[in-house]
Amino acid sequence: MKIARFHVFAASMTTLSVALSVPAYAQQTGSTDTSEATPQTDDFHGTEEIVVTAPYVERLDILSGTSAVTGDVLAEKTRAQLGDILSSLPGVSATSFSPGASRPVLRGYQGNRVAVLTDGIGNIDASNTSADHAVTIDTLTVERIEVLRGPAVLLFGGQAVGGAVNALDKRIPRSIPDEAVHVDALAGYGSAARDWSGGASVDVPLTERVVVHVDGSYRNSDDLRTGGYVFAPSLRSELLDFATRQAGAGNAAGAAETRGIANERGRIPNSAVKTWTAAGGAAFIDEGGNLGISYSIYDTNYGVPDRPATALAATSGSIAATPVTIGMRQYRADFRGELNLGGGLFDKLRLRAGYADYTHTEFEGDEIGTVFISQGIEGRAELIQNDRNGWRGASGVQYQTRDFEAIGAEAFVPPNKNRQFGMFTLQEFTAGNLDAEVALRFDTAELRADILGISRSFNNVSSAFGVGYHIGDLKIGANLSRTGRAPAVEELFSNGPHIATQAFEVGDPLLKSERAWNGELYARYDTADTAFNLTLYANRFDNFIYEAETGVVADDLPVFQYFQNDAKVWGVEFQGSQNVASFGNVDLKVDAVADYTRAKISAGAGNIPRIPPLRVLGGVELNGARLDLRGEVEWSANQTKTAPFETATDGFTLVNATATWRPFGSDRNIALIASANNIFDVVARRSASFTKDFVPLSGRDFRLSARISF
């Protein structure tokens, strides 16, 4: 078929709390003393305390780069997809494939190098297999999202060299509510996509030890409005040149059509999203531990914007394409248990497991193009050690299995099976002002494509070591890790046209394990008025796997092929804030975030594709008992360090403002939030996006949100 357009844990809420004067949108760990820390108890989590839940132990200083989004800030930033919510955090960008599909990019890494977790285990969807696949996390009912970077992600797998994103919900309750019925609700409207959304959860204690939970959400958004031309200048020029050739060949109608497409502005065609979710759960909780289950449904339909492939069309033909849409549904069951073991060597035994049945259909107009079916299970068990004279830790095992099949003429990946097993331990020791951590992990993976008669097995050992030293309120430290990642199924076995990305994708069944040395140096400073976190990191890869355009055309599509070579990645992240003044019960704060990543393939092979450029974000906040005001400016540089056949990305500056009113003051059971994003309506494109040349970011967007808890 000819295609005319190119598309491209937390088993319990651990009680580590760290009071920080950091911007609310980018809360980050950094305390040097947790002896007086207490967890948050309000549902809004509206203070600036941090509760680190993912690492399973109550204090883990190796987490030199942990950020969290929660409460009112999460309510204001809620979008259809996870990546777009987190992009203001240090070191975080997004794939921004479309409004309906956007996955986090951490330190320039995406796909299989970033673990996306639901309550500490994998999301068990297909979002890591291709940029056009949505992340099946309900952003309207999730109550907290944590971003973990650096060696600590070894707890979740040696493959997540970029980091991990952990979304926490209450589908398996963690506590018994004090009320007879507890309700949390969120509703909002965004002007740029005429985006109506709402979600609510209800918790009901049946007895003193049993609680049940139900939640649901709905979102309906139109085509996204952008601030100018839909297509990037280089693509518009290509289109207009093509129109001239069409006219010269006597195809006046085709030329007029092409000029019309080139001049599209305002709304991005075929970018609407409709999503609904439903879930229920129950838990038994007492002094000896807890046990809970949940069941959920995630259903979404979204459009895939098109890129006209003029170089592949005849001058006498039309570049119009049949709209491509994706319908996706995931059924998921989850289990979590915890057993208190007492005062011996081990404190707790924690169990976590999930099963998901996932179907994803790519439609060409009303016709079914390709159907992707995935069934997967992931489970893990951890033994948490008691603190013995400053020595503590956690050890466990993890198992994953996935059966995946693509059905249709354009099934670019053959049916395959993926089995993975891992064992890990993490140990921490504190002596005076010195902290030390050691982690060790073993992973084995078997990937089979029986229809091809190919089976590959990989064994990888990963390790990490970290030290940190406290000098008053300042902590300095270093982390070093050696990680190994088995190739993904898509990297090995892809071979064919992929309708949604509009690319002919080619894998390499002979790929080796990807291994890397990873180093970090960090400094953290934290007082009542001043806080900052500075991290320098570097990664040196053997056999780095990447996908790049080749310049070859197959089946009227550009060929994107997986390659393997050595590579080097380094970068810097900074986050800081300062309390400038206080006026009664109102505090004036300033804050800043900056990050930069440089990534190159060795032996003169060029740059790694789709890397974010230098980014700086600065903000000013007025925080009071009832009213918070914030203004911020985000500047992104040009990205000209591109891979072969990859276009450069223009820089941009976004100006945003937010007001949060809590009419009942510090109780914070109601918050009304008004925000104006991209106030000056500029055109902005993410260099990490596969579709940046024809899917810009949102134009001016006025948003109203209401968050209620009672």
Amino acid in position 283: A
- Look at residue 22 in the predicted model and tell me its pLDDT: 41
* Mean pLDDT, the chain, integer: 86
| Lowest-pLDDT range of 84-93, 521-530, 538-547, 613-622 | 84-93
Between strands 163-168 and 92-94, the pairing is unpaired
* pTM for the full predicted model: 0.89
Evaluate if residue 49 carries a pLDDT over 90. no
Evaluate if residue 312 carries a pLDDT over 70. no
Question: Once rounded to an integer, what is the mean pLDDT over residues 525-541?
Answer: 94
* Positive/negative CA dihedral, 49, 54, 59, 60: negative
By C-alpha distance, which of 233, 194, 59, 154 is closest to 465? 154
Taking residue 284's Cβ as centre, other Cβ atoms within 10 Å add up to: 18
Evaluate if residue 410 carries a pLDDT over 80. no
- Look at residue 553 in the predicted model and tell me its pLDDT: 86
Distance in angstroms (rounded) separating the CA atoms of residues 491 and 508: 6
Dihedral through CA 198, CA 204, CA 210, CA 214, nearest 10? Answer: -30
- Look at residue 39 in the predicted model and tell me its pLDDT: 32
Between strands 503-506 and 557-583, the pairing is parallel
Q: Strand ranges (DSSP E) for 287-415?
A: 289-304, 324-340, 346-364, 367-385, 391-407
SS3 content of the chain, % helix, strand, coil (to 5): 10, 55, 35
Give the confidence band of 313 by pLDDT, cuts at 50, 70, 90: low
- Look at residue 158 in the predicted model and tell me its pLDDT: 74
Scan for tokens 């038994």, then name that residue. 284
Tens of pLDDT along 443-465?
Answer: 999 999 999 999 999 999 999 99
* Positive/negative CA dihedral, 261, 265, 266, 270: positive
Distance in angstroms (rounded) separating the CA atoms of residues 292 and 269: 44
Tens of pLDDT along 201-227?
Answer: 999 999 999 999 999 999 999 999 999
Query: What is the token pair recorded at 328?
Result: 């996706």
- Look at residue 40 in the predicted model and tell me its pLDDT: 32
Distance in angstroms (rounded) separating the CA atoms of residues 36 and 18: 9
Phi, psi values for residue 427, rounded to 5°: -125, 135
Q: Could you tell me which residue, 617 or 39, shows the higher pLDDT?
A: 617
- Look at residue 108 in the predicted model and tell me its pLDDT: 93
Distance in angstroms (rounded) separating the CA atoms of residues 640 and 614: 11
Task: Give first-to-last CA distance, the chain, whole Å.
Answer: 56
Distance in angstroms (rounded) separating the CA atoms of residues 85 and 688: 15
- Look at residue 29 in the predicted model and tell me its pLDDT: 42
Question: Once rounded to an integer, what is the mean pLDDT over residues 372-380?
Answer: 95
By C-alpha distance, which of 680, 677, 683 is closest to 85? 677
Evaluate if residue 522 carries a pLDDT over 70. yes
- Look at residue 19 in the predicted model and tell me its pLDDT: 30
Taking residue 580's Cβ as centre, other Cβ atoms within 10 Å add up to: 12
- Look at residue 67 in the predicted model and tell me its pLDDT: 79
> What whole-number percentage of the chain has pLDDT above 90?
62
* Length reported for the chain: 710
| Lowest-pLDDT range of 108-112, 446-450, 568-572 | 108-112
Report residue 179 CA to chain centroid gap. 34
The SS3 call for residue 525 is strand
- Look at residue 554 in the predicted model and tell me its pLDDT: 86
Distance in angstroms (rounded) separating the CA atoms of residues 90 and 619: 14
Question: Once rounded to an integer, what is the mean pLDDT over residues 272-298?
Answer: 96
Burial of 664-677, coded b for 16+ CB within 10 Å and e otherwise, reads: eeeebbebbbebbb
- Look at residue 697 in the predicted model and tell me its pLDDT: 96
Q: Which DSSP string corresponds to 75-133?
A: HHH--SSHHHHHTTSTTEEE--SBTTB--EEETTB-GGGEEEEETTEE--SSTTT-TTS
Query: What is the token pair recorded at 609?
Result: 């594709």
Quick one: 24-230+268-709 is in which CATH superfamily? TonB-dependent receptor, beta-barrel domain (2.40.170.20)
Evaluate if residue 10 carries a pLDDT over 90. no
The SS3 call for residue 377 is strand
Contact 660, 627 (CB under 8 A): yes
Per-domain residue ranges for the chain?
A: 24-230+268-709
Evaluate if residue 598 carries a pLDDT over 90. yes
- Look at residue 23 in the predicted model and tell me its pLDDT: 45
Taking residue 373's Cβ as centre, other Cβ atoms within 10 Å add up to: 16
Evaluate if residue 687 carries a pLDDT over 90. yes
Query: What is the token pair recorded at 629?
Result: 């005001």
Distance in angstroms (rounded) separating the CA atoms of residues 407 and 359: 11
Give the confidence band of 112 by pLDDT, cuts at 50, 70, 90: confident
Give the confidence band of 42 by pLDDT, cuts at 50, 70, 90: very low
The SS3 call for residue 451 is helix
Distance in angstroms (rounded) separating the CA atoms of residues 501 and 305: 10
Report which DSSP code applies to 154. Answer: G
Distance in angstroms (rounded) separating the CA atoms of residues 232 and 33: 49
Query: What is the token pair recorded at 170?
Result: 């209450």
Query: What is the token pair recorded at 646?
Result: 């990859």
535 sits in which H/E element:
strand 530-554
What is the 3 state secondary structure string of 253-318? HHHHHHHHHHCCEEECCCCCEEEEEEEEEEEEEECCEEEEEEEEEEEEEEEECCCECHHHCCCCCC
Question: Once rounded to an integer, what is the mean pLDDT over residues 527-544?
Answer: 94
Q: Could you tell me which residue, 500 or 188, shows the higher pLDDT?
A: 188
Contact 132, 146 (CB under 8 A): no
Contact 499, 505 (CB under 8 A): no
- Look at residue 189 in the predicted model and tell me its pLDDT: 96
